[in-house]
Homo-oligomer: A and B are copies of this chain.
Amino acid sequence: MVIKLYIDLMSQPSRALYILLKYAKCDFEKKLVDLRQGAHYSDEFAAINRFQKVPVIDHDGFILTESVAIIKYLSRENLIPESLYPRDSKLQARVDEFLEWQHIGLRLHCAMFFRVKVLDPTITGVAPNAKTLSGYENRMISALETFENHWLQKGTKFIAGDNITVADLLAACELEQPRAAGYDPADSFEGMSSWWKAVQEYFSPYYNEAHVIIKKVAEKNKLAAKL
């Protein structure tokens, strides 16, 4: 049964799932949903995901949304390596702890900064209000500080212990959004910088492959800012 994976590589959990399935040598069919063209608003896609968001999987007719729920399902179906999502109850709990924390603890703030600084201005043609943007940036920096101090600098090599897991992959993909928006977390946070490199290397060459498009967006934004 081939899995259909509906993604847009501009979306961070889409990239994480794409990298995960590539790394796991899982047989899957990539279905691109071009968010910038509004493809997620089509009736065809709404029939697949009533929330009109990516990523989504279709596993022989079983349609599932929410990246974290998808990762856990793939693990139960033995489609990803156990090391990346351990079966041991306590080890799995440490991964889950981060996966649940990151929604509001990290993802919300990184995604909102990207949206206010890059996405909304691209769509509307209107530059963001400086005070508003600064508020979003400060909340994101505060989230990054918590991530650095309480998850990366707590004495283990990776987020959920000394072994790399899906928690690291999800977080690494998330941090690419502020980087693409002109704020590189690796410049300000030492722990993040070395940990991030280790995650990229582990998932090489798929990590870089999944980030080609967002890196192009980042370059374009940098050039535009210089004009």
* A positions within 8 Å CB-CB of B: 50-51, 62, 64-69, 72-73, 76-77, 89-90, 92-93, 96-97, 99-101, 103-104, 107-108, 146, 150, 154
Contacts and interface: CB of A to CB of B under 8 A. Distances in A.
A110 to B, nearest CB: 12
A51 B103 contact: no
B50 A101 contact: no
B68 A96 contact: yes
B69 A96 contact: yes
B108 A69 contact: no
A212 B73 CA distance: 37
Given A69-B99, A99-B69, A92 B76 contact: yes
Nearest to A69: B96
Contacts of A64: 93, 97
Contact of A72 (B51, B93, B146, B150): B93
A76 B100 contact: no
Contacts of A107: 104
Nearest to A65: B97
A95 to B, nearest CB: 9
Nearest to A90: B62
9 contacts: A62-B90, A66-B96, A66-B97, A68-B96, A69-B99, A73-B89, A76-B92, A77-B89, A103-B103
